[in-house]
Copies of this chain bind each other. A is one copy, B any other.
Amino acid sequence: MTELYAVRMDVALPPDMDPAARDDLLAREKAYSQQWQRSGHWPHIWRCVGQYANLSVFAVDSNEQLHQILWGLPLFPHMSITVTPLAAHPSDIAQDPAHKSTAQTPAQDDAAQ
Closest to A92 in B: B45
Q: Which residues on B sit within 8 Å (CB–CB) of A38? A: 93, 99-100, 102-104
A112 CB to closest chain B CB, in angstroms? 6
With A88-B64, A106-B39: A112-B47 Cβ-Cβ less than 8 Å: no
A:58-113 near B, CB below 8 Å: 61-64, 66-72, 76-78, 81-93, 96, 99-100, 102-106, 108, 110-113
Q: Which residues of A contact B (CB under 8 A)?
A: 1, 3-7, 13-16, 29-30, 32-40, 45-52, 54-55, 61-64, 66-72, 76-78, 81-93, 96, 99-100, 102-106, 108, 110-113
